[in-house]
Structure 1
Amino acid sequence: MFKRLKGKISRRQAGSKESDTPPIHDTGTTEPRPEKFGLFFVAGNQPDSSSSKLYSVDIIAIHGLNGDAFNTWRHSNGTFWLRDLLPSFLPGCRIYTYGYPSKIFSETSFARMQEYSRGLLSSIRDLHEDSSTALVFAHEDDNFYGEVLKSVIGVAFLGTPHRGSESAKLGSTLATIINICTKTSTAGMRPRAVRNDLLDDLSSNSNTLQDLLLSARNRLRNLTVVSFYETEATPPLSSLVVGRESSILGIPNEDVTPLYENHKTICRFAGETSSYMSVARALRRIACKLPDDGQELKRANTRSSDRSLNDVEMTCMKLFNIFDVAEYKGLLPKPIPGSCQWIRDHPFFVTWLEKTESALLWLTGHPGCGKTMLSFTLEQYFEEIRTTSTPQTVLIYFCDDKVSRQKDAKAIIISLIFQMIQRHRSMIRHVRRIFELQGPSMIESFSSLWSIFLKIAKDPKLGSLYIILDALDECENVTRRQLLESISEMLVDSAHSTRSGNGVKFLVTSRPFLRQSYITDKAPQPHISIDEGQAGYVADLRSFIQRRVDQISLKHDYPSDVRDFLLQTMYSKADHTFLWVHVVLASVETSLLTAMKDFRDIVTRIPPDLKDTYMRYMSDIPSDHLEDASHLLKLLLASSRPLHLDEINTAFTTHSSHSTTEDVVRDSQTAIAHTLQGILGPLPMPACNICSSMISTMISFRPRTHLPIQFFGISDLNDELPLGHFADDSGDENDYTLNADVLFREPDALNSDVCRRFVLKYGFYSYASLHWAEHFAICEESASDALRKSAMSLLSVKNESCRNWFHFYCTESDTSMDTNSLDQEPIVLAARFNLHRTLKDMLNSYESSQAILNQSLLWTSRLGHGRIVAELLTAGSDPNMRGSDRQTALTAAAEHGHLSCVVTILADKRTDINTTGRMGRSGLSFACGNGHDRIVTEFLRQDSCKVDAADDSGATPFFWAVGGGHYSIISALAKQASVDVNHQDKKGRTVVSWAAGDGMCEVLQRLSKLPGIDFNKNDNNGKSPVSWAAGNGHDSVVDFLVQHKKVDKASVDKDLRNAISWASEFGHLNALRILLKNGCPGVDTEDIDGWTPLAWAIQNNAPGVIQALLSTGSVHLERQDRGGRTALSWAVEYGHASVVKVLLQEGADPEAKSNRGTTPISIAREFGRDDILKELLENSPDETGIET
């Protein structure tokens, strides 16, 4: 080998000098340049208008040892992939290549790696003035410092020897011999020396690379890093130039990928080979990290309310954004200025407001007394009393039993969580953690949602929480009970807790019956009855009366005596509700008779009871309008959400005689508000405030037989929908109709913009598309054969009308829907939309394939349609078949909390209770993770259930129960003889390890009571639970663990790191103080890399942690690492001025020399840090080094 290398070197010296200038290319890019070094523009693809996505990034290629800015990336066939292939793969990007003196044979260059790095940084800074984001990849050498990190989003390494190369080490030895030979054999000629220094730097475990590798841990932490390693030997060598171990940084989230290339071909591609595609796709993944708007990419501040969100976090935000509180508040009538002030001085309210611990105040009142207005006003008041010195967050939720999404306690918690995240985006981490465990099904689990709520509510960044829950009596009973019990438990825990924390102030409004059913001895709460003897309430009612009477008198020009009569008459009834007053004055306002006796009769004959009042108005409706009134009231009752006036108009007008939308428009009311007022009087406005049961006593609801189809105006749309394609830029954008494929610009690409335009043109189309199946499911048993036939036609994707509404549904509905259902039989949609009778008709009419039956079962199990599940199982659906998401009917039903479906599926003898779904998890695992207690109980009743079965990650159901913080399930599982509470997953972690790492202090307290639980079991890397807690900064967990008698406070992992080391690395000062206070050892112990806790703290720029460590008196400040460098030396290179100052104050030596002779002062000069240099020189015992 020595002979071959010497011969190669001799030939290189004897040969003519190769040109480093790339050849001319006809694209106009990469023109010939006389320079060899610097940043060169390679290509800037000008994407055409058809490009679906643009990547506004700059890609900078950096060669390695003995490389070249151009030839390193050029294949022997001439393909320069940076120019010829990559621009079209990443349209919109700009590509550069960087050259520096890296030749082994050099006549003049003696620059070192640091100089090359500074040259690169300077070039990137210059480039940054014109471009906001850089994506960098390298072949063998790369280094990042300072402000450049703010614009770099990722790095791709191609065979880069982070830990050096044995080939370079051997080459350095041979080069020394060759240099001696060439100096004696080239008399009279200038020798071309071999660069021993570069080969030394790249030799295995060299000091230079060791320094770079250690510093890279922190610098690359927030970037996307992809490392490719070679798998083939490079001829004539028989081994790898850079092995896998050296090619990998070993940092979290590093994407490691093998390329079946050698060290020479790993960066040269003949074309779109598999290796090229691997690299190109990796670059695309990094480029996708760029925000869509192309704005400047900034380092995320986790404490900022405008923190940027990643893809998973954006998905979480969309998942939780189900109710627009601001929009709902905008629909509410505004309170009279100055009203609702009385409650601020009420002693119960003042006491509640002044409490430091969590507390609840209950406001009750009968329907129509103004509870919602009071809630609205109090929210504004809480916002007004906010101070900058005392952080606090105000949340509000309006329950509404007329809106399906606003009458479930899970929806309440979802909205509260979303509001908190909107104000403090860093709180998204609590949601993300559960989402990564459970996926979208998390929002269907009350316990999971409550766990997230508690996590966020206890975060000190939020400060105090004020939570207003309005009209809680309109929430459905089951989840409402769960919510009230959870709040009660929270209040009890807060009252008994000795730890300081955020106070959560709940203010609940409801009708009196709800509070009476909730009264408990556990946590008795103060109560204010709004409409029973409150002087302030009466004053507000009198103000409302005066305002309305003034308006009516002015409108009709009543004389002052009539006005005064109305005022006095209404004042005498001031013990009634706002709603009653509104109804009476509305009757006065519309009365054709205006004598005082007429007004007196109106006031007298309207009953004080609301039900009697409405019955009174119903009896006054003229006989010729009774049918219309009944129809309107049915619409108000039957609608899935409050209808807008134009929707009421369409629904009220649509009749079986109408065949087109034009027919409906022609017959619509021209002034629907006037029509409503004329027929129903004052009924429509407050209708939403009356419970459904009350309305039901007034009307007998029977949907007209044509209502579900003709009412929604969908069945006949295919008759008027000519085929065609919609284009934004051609013709009149408003001149289009609802054709079958118009919602698609191209196959499988839903067009939400077109959907919005349809809604503008067809006012009722949105409600019809989203809710027709829901309405039909209610009345399909009593529907006529013709109606059921029409419904079946709407479920056949062969029909244009079906494709129309279903495309719209998939685009506009917030319910996840697999659009592949478009390719399936109608039975799939019938099952999906819970159309039981229709499904039976389909099953009886024709034979469906096994695949269709199985897919239908999967959908309906996920959605919880119990009768449909039973029907499909009877028809032969396979309960053990896995879908495209790997879920079975049982795992899907268990995951989403559908008890009846689980019971039905388990009752089928074909069901394998232990069949696994996604991630190898069983139905029991999903039920445990999502906190579905009753389903867990059902599984545990089955003798064949494998309670302790592990999934693909090695986690058992017990793991998932602990991860979700589901205490009742944890207790139930721990009692099972087959459950190992100390089971380790594939990472070697136990439930104690995971709970400690996730900061679940309450869970750990409960786990500590389980017999046989081990709090010291280390994971595969030797990391203990207390180290996990310390490294993640969970102060309360660290405090609990170090005081636990059975916890080993001195444990170290396989890298010889202890809890103090982990707390120091991430700057967790409070956790560190707790460890030091409780006598945890290892404050100055070296880990496997020779780093002490002080070194880790310096890297993370944590001056507080450094002071805490040094205050122990046990830290050797001048300790040298394996490169002879001190803590101060590293602090200077990192540029952490505040850390430098702390170290100097503690007596650190600014002139301590490393093994290479560098000092903190010389490093500061080298990197141009004049501010740090000044601080060092002022603390130097010998200031002779001061430059003049």
Structure 2
Amino acid sequence: MTRYQADGNTSYGNSIQINGPVHGNVGLATDLQPSFFKTSNYESYKNINPERVPETCVWFLEHPTFQKWKASSGDDLLWLSADPGCGKSVLSQALIDEKLVGAESVTLCYFFFKDNDEQNNTAKALCALLHQLFWAHEGLLQKHIASAVKKCGQALKNNFEELWQIFISAATNPSAGGVICILDALDECQESDRNVLIAHLERFYSRSVDKSKRGSKLKFLVTSRPYNEIERGFSRLIQSIPTIRLAREEESEKISHEIGIVIEAKVKDIAEKRGLREDVRSSLQRRLCEIPNRTYLWLHLTLDQVEKAIGKTQKKLFNIIDTLPRTVEEAYEKILARCVQEEARRVLHIIVASQRPLTLSEIDVALEIELDSTCYEDLDSEGAGDRKGYIRESCGLFIIVVDSRVYLIHQTAREFLVRKKNEMSAPQGWRHSVDLQEAHRVLSMKCIIYLLFRELQEYRVPTDADAPSSDMRSEVQAYSKEHAFLDYSAKHWISHVQEAHVDSPDWVYKTAKLCDIGDGSSCAWFRIYSSLYYLRHSPDRSKRPALYWAVMFGLINETKYLLKSDLDSVVQGGYFQNTLQAAAENRDRGKELVTLLLEHRGDRFKITEELVRAAALNDECGREIMALLLEQRAGRFEISAGLVAKIARFFDQRVMALLLEQRGDEVKITEEVVRAAAGNGIYGREVMALLLEQRGDEVKITEEVVRRAAGNDKYGREVMALLLEQRGDEIKITKEVVRAAAENWHSRKEVMALLLEQQADRFEISAGLVAEIARSFDQKAMTLLLEQRGDEVKITEEVVRAAAGNDKIWERSNGASP
């Protein structure tokens, strides 16, 4: 999945921000409803799982660690790790549906992760949690989201950092009472999102603020496979948070007993359905219980074979049991071996590559699209009902259909099918037989052919001049519902093309044709695509060339094709500059795209502040892009204080060193540049050290520079230490500096302790400054101030009032680091 960011808005997926504000109109805070956060069918994700058999999951429910977590009266975190097929998701569903985690008054929120675009990102998860929280406590809604909606609009739904702050703030509000969040299958969340979520959970639960002062009761229960990277993420908490590990060597006896209970219940059901004698039922149950290394998933897969077996005698059934697969992978192989191979592969290629679960109607259309299809009349669709039967006949138990959506039976089924890189598939078997790139090629071609259907190409969305934006959105939504495969194709064809790496001229021509959408306003697929990310086309309504869109979408082969075939139209009207800026913003393929553009038209552009800003917002490869531009095109930089400041603010010392080396005689180190370096949240110390070393005579340490260093969220202490070491005699600590440090939630205490220990004599003592310290810092900071400058400190009424309100400040900082 690709992530793009522009104009301060971050979006996940193949999303874009095109030099304009967010799409749609969020009204005043008074118009907001909990449904604002209903961005997924999270209820359906839970209900995919079967209900637990009575008397199972007891090993967990009675576990002392779970009981301790359940009884905890404050914030708490529980991490359950277990191998695949051990029933984690069934347990999570039972905890929710049967309300087994706490008192009736507790607000229970949940999200089930899955390895698809609808369920594998943390923004969707947080939106689901917020929807459930605000549905239960609607009074919290206006208070906690108004400012964020005003700031981000609809793009808030994709902004993890803002969503996290809203959730922590609302869930720890005293009026929320107890809040419990269950996050199932965290291992199936995409890795980058997962790491960020774990870091925020770790930060929330490890902060040093005394929990008893906060009064909040926010608990998380997280389940996952026992992956090393997840354990490393929780490593700093591993000693202080309760951790349950479901491993056979630790819980084998209890798990075996509970699987025995399930076998008894299922065999009884089979016996009743088939009319088996009691002695046959008893013998069948006993023989199944003798099979070693059983899991719930294995049991589900194998009992189906017993139920469908021919014969009712003990001997016939025992023969069936003797041939049952002993592992889940053997069970998968047997299920698919009974299928019609060609039909099963057609279906499974589509399901494995799909970015979200397809509906029956969508897969019905997809299966009928052929290379020569040009319109709806060419499709021989069966309809959702008949297609459901076809899928079951084609794939057996390997596929399940829930709420008209088609799923693989388990995540392990996908792992069983998909071939690992550079691995040969098993001879005449299904294990690792699906090449994922080939599956993406199949689905990308179906999406492209569909979007080029005559009917879809002829349809035009009404423009703003024809109808209000709300009417246009409604019309596009209605049109999409009438055309089953349109929503999926529009939103995901780009990712399939990227993953398929198809470079055939015929197909590159077709995909390049899809990029020829002008300003995007009247293109149905683009309006659907952009609505997913709450974005809109530029208010500049002029037509954009196909190359611009190919670059925006990160399509390498299409960019090459268009550069070779249509150069003249590309460079007209400054669009090459815009196209280069779009390339600089692309996180996954930005460097490759910029390189292509420089090779073909490197003489047609200038490096402006806007281009530098685009690269700055690219936190994946922005530094590499800037280094590339400086190494190859340093002479085309438009040197200005603003451009130099942006480099100092967003890039590392290597980029700044290249700029000074290539154009140093034109670079002026103004106060704006020094302020920017002091506020650089990642490389501030290194950039400031470089400036002091190479251009120290130009570096002026003003109050604003010190304030920026004190407020540097992540590296404020390091930047401040450098300034104190090299230019301490120029630093004065004013009320504004103290306030900046107070607002620095990540390193506030470290910055203030450093200033008081090394620079106490340079504090400008005033009632306002003392009050700010009393209001915003702990007793250590005040003690240091009194020790160093106590004879000048006056404890005024303002100071006493500030100290009295200090606990409230800490309560509001629940989501931040100490």
Residue-by-residue CA offset, 1:458-495 (whole Å, 9 max, x unaligned): 65555555343321222344553454455445544459
CA RMSD of superposed structures (Å) = 5.1
Per the alignment, residue 29 of structure 1 pairs with none
Q: C-alpha displacement at 1:675, in angstroms?
A: 1.9
- Within the candidate set 338, 348, 357, 2:65 is matched to 348
* Equivalence for 1:775: 496
**Partner residue of 2:433?**
699
1:990 aligns with 2:722: no
The alignment partner of 2:754 has SS state of coil
What percentage of aligned pairs have identical amino acids?
A: 20
Deviations 1:133-165 (A, max 9, x none): xxxxxxxxxxxxxxxxxxxxxxxxxxxxxxxxx
- CA deviation digits over 1:982-1005, x for unaligned, max 9? 9899xx973421453x59496245
In 2, distance between residues paired with 1:946 and 1:684? 66
Q: Is the alpha carbon distance of 1:636 and 1:821 closer, same or farther for their aligned partners in structure 2, counting shifts above 3 Å?
A: farther
Cα distance in structure 1, aligned partners of 2:131 and 2:683? 28
Q: Counterpart in 2 of 1:385?
A: 102
**Counterpart of 1:106?**
none
Task: Kindly state the Cα deviation for residue 817 of structure 1 after the two structures are TM-superposed.
Answer: 5.3
Whether the aligned pair in 2 keeps the contact of 1:395 and 1:419 (CA below 8 Å) is: yes
1:576 alignment counterpart? 294
1:471-870 matched pairs, under 5 angstroms: 471-484=185-198, 487-488=201-202, 490-493=204-207, 501-502=215-216, 504-514=218-228, 520=235, 523-524=238-239, 525-530=241-246, 532=248, 533=251, 537-538=255-256, 540-556=258-274, 563-573=281-291, 576-591=294-309, 596-618=314-336, 620-621=337-338, 625-666=340-381, 671-685=386-400, 686-690=408-412, 692-697=414-419, 698-701=432-435, 702-703=438-439, 707-719=443-455, 739-741=459-461, 746=466, 749=469, 751-780=472-501, 782-797=502-517, 803-814=523-534, 818=538, 820=540, 823-847=543-567, 848-849=570-571, 851-864=574-587, 865-866=589-590, 867-870=592-595
Aligned-pair distance for 1:833?
1.0
Q: How many angstroms apart in 2 are the aligned matches of 1:936 and 1:1015?
A: 26
Contact 1:369 1:577 in 2 (8 A): yes
Amino acid at match of 1:855: N
Task: Give, in whole Å, the separation in 2 of the partners of 1:1000 and 1:561.
Answer: 69
The CA distance in 1 between the partners of 2:703 and 2:344, in whole Å, is 63
Using a 3 Å threshold, how does the CA distance of structure 1 residues 972 and 482 change in structure 2: closer, same or farther? Answer: farther
CA shift in 2, pair 1:522/1:583, >3 Å: closer
Q: Structure 1 residues 949 and 393 mapped into 2: Cα distance closer, same or farther (>3 Å)?
A: farther
Offset of 1:860 from its aligned partner?
A: 3.6
Distance change (3 Å), C-alpha of 1:464 and 1:523: farther
Q: CA deviation at 1:1007?
A: 3.0
Q: Aligned pair in 2 of structure 1 residues 347, 839: CA closer, same or farther (>3 Å)?
A: same
Distance 1:1069 1:628 in 2: 68
Q: Residue 798 of structure 2 corresponds to which residue in structure 1?
A: 1058
Q: Give 5+ residue unaligned stretches, structure 2.
A: 1-24, 401-407, 420-431, 652-675, 810-818
Aligned to 2:659: none
Q: Distance in 2 between matches of 1:610 and 1:932?
A: 52
Deviations 1:561-586 (A, max 9, x none): 55545444434448511111111122
Check 1:530–1:487 CA distance in 2 against 1; reply closer, same or farther (3 A cut).
same
CA distance in 1, matches of 2:761, 2:132: 37
Measure how far apart 1:772 and its partner are: 0.9
Q: 1:922 aligns with which of 630, 636, 646?
A: 646
Contact 1:342 1:536 in 2 (8 A): yes
Aligned length: 715
Output the CA distance in 2 between the equivalents of 1:946 and 1:323.
53
Query: Alpha carbons of 1:807 and 1:359: their partners in 2 closer, same or farther (altered >3 Å)?
Result: closer
What are the equivalent positions in structure 2 for 1:65-464 lying under 5 Å apart? 309=29, 322-336=39-53, 339-355=56-72, 358-380=75-97, 385-386=102-103, 393-400=107-114, 402-404=115-117, 406-408=119-121, 426=140, 460-463=174-177
Give 1:593 shift: 5.9
- Aligned 8 A contact 2:202 2:234 in 1: no
Partner amino acid for 1:652? L
Partner SS for 1:576: coil
Q: Give the stretch that moved more between structures: 865-874 or 453-462.
A: 453-462
Task: Please give the alpha-carbon distance, in whole angstroms, between the structure 1 residues aligned to 2:397 and 2:678.
Answer: 46
Give the structure with higher Rg (CA): 1
Could you state the TM-score of these two structures normalised by the residue count of structure 1? 0.52
2:754 counterpart letter in structure 1: K
Contact 1:1026 1:1059 in 2 (8 A): yes
Q: 1:800 to 1:352 in 2, by over 3 A?
A: closer
* Structure 2 counterparts to residues 7-18 of structure 1, below 5 A: none
Distance 2:166 2:732 in 1: 25
Q: Does structure 2 conserve the Cα–Cα contact (< 8 Å) formed by 1:718 and 1:801?
A: no
SS of corresponding position for 2:361: helix
Once the two structures are superposed, what CA deviation does each residue of 1:819-853 show, in whole Å capped at 9, x if it has no partner? 75772111121111110110111112122226212
| 1:254-280 CA-partner distances (Å, limit 9, x unpaired) | xxxxxxxxxxxxxxxxxxxxxxxxxxx
- Counterpart amino acid of residue 971 in structure 1: E
Say whether the 8 Å CA contact 2:616–2:623 is kept in structure 1.
yes
Normalised by the length of structure 2, the TM-score is 0.72
Cα drift, residue 381 of structure 1 = 6.0
Cα shift readout 1:274-306 (whole Å, capped 9, x = no counterpart): xxxxxxxxxxxxxxx9x97xxxxxxxxxxxxxx
Residue 769 of structure 1 and its aligned partner are, at CA, apart by 0.7
Once the two structures are superposed, the pairs formed by residues 1110-1125 of structure 1 within 5 Å of their partners are: none
Find the aligned partners of 1:799 and 1:482 in 2 and give their Cα distance: 35
1:971 aligns with 2:718: yes
Could you say if the C-alpha distance between residues 427 and 749 of structure 1 is closer, same or farther in structure 2, counting changes exceeding 3 Å? Answer: closer
Flag the 1:762–1:498 CA change in 2: closer, same or farther, 3 A. Answer: closer
Deviation, structure 1 residue 658: 2.4
How far apart are the structure 2 equivalents of 1:954 and 1:385? 52
What amino acid sits opposite 1:604 in the alignment?
Answer: D
| In 1: Cα distance, 2:760 partner to 2:131 partner | 37
* 1:1060-1083 residue CA offsets vs partner (Å, 9 max, x unmatched): 67899xxx69779xxxxxxxxxxx
Q: Secondary structure of the residue that 2:344 maps to in structure 1? A: helix
Alignment partner, residue 663 of structure 2: none
Once residues 704 and 1009 of structure 1 are traced to their aligned partners in structure 2, the CA distance between those partners, rounded to angstroms, is: 55
Amino acid at match of 1:906: A
Structure 1 distance, partners of 2:762, 2:162, is 28
Distance in 1, Cα, partners of 2:720 & 2:83 = 45
Asked if the contact 1:369/1:578 (under 8 Å) is kept, the reply is: yes
Does the 8 A contact of 1:653 with 1:668 survive in 2?
no
Kindly report which structure 2 residues correspond to 1:871-950, keeping only aligned pairs within 5 A, or say none.
Answer: 871-874=596-599, 875-876=601-602, 878=605, 880-881=607-608, 888-895=610-617, 897-898=619-620, 900-909=621-630, 910=633, 922=646, 925=649
Quote the Cα distance in structure 1 between the aligned partners of 2:310 and 2:606: 68
Q: Which one scores higher on RCO, CA 8 angstroms, separation ≥ 6?
A: 2
Where structure 1 has 5 or more consecutive residues not aligned to the other structure, the ranges are 1-288, 293-307, 723-738, 883-887, 1073-1188
Secondary structure of the corresponding residue to residue 398 of structure 2: coil
Residues 1:488 and 1:387: Cα distance change in structure 2 (over 3 Å): same
Tell me the residue number matched to 1:1009. 754
Deviations 1:911-958 (A, max 9, x none): 66986889x9735546899999667688669769999999xx996697
Distance 1:710 1:438, change over 3 A: closer
User: How far 1:410 sits from its partner (Å)?
Assistant: 6.5
Q: Report the residue type matching 2:580 in the other structure.
A: L
Counterpart residue identity of residue 113, structure 2 = C
The residue correspondences of 1:2-41 to structure 2 (distance < 5 A) are none
Separation in 1, partners of 2:390, 2:318: 27
> Who is 1:1165 aligned against?
none
Letter in 2 for 1:959: R
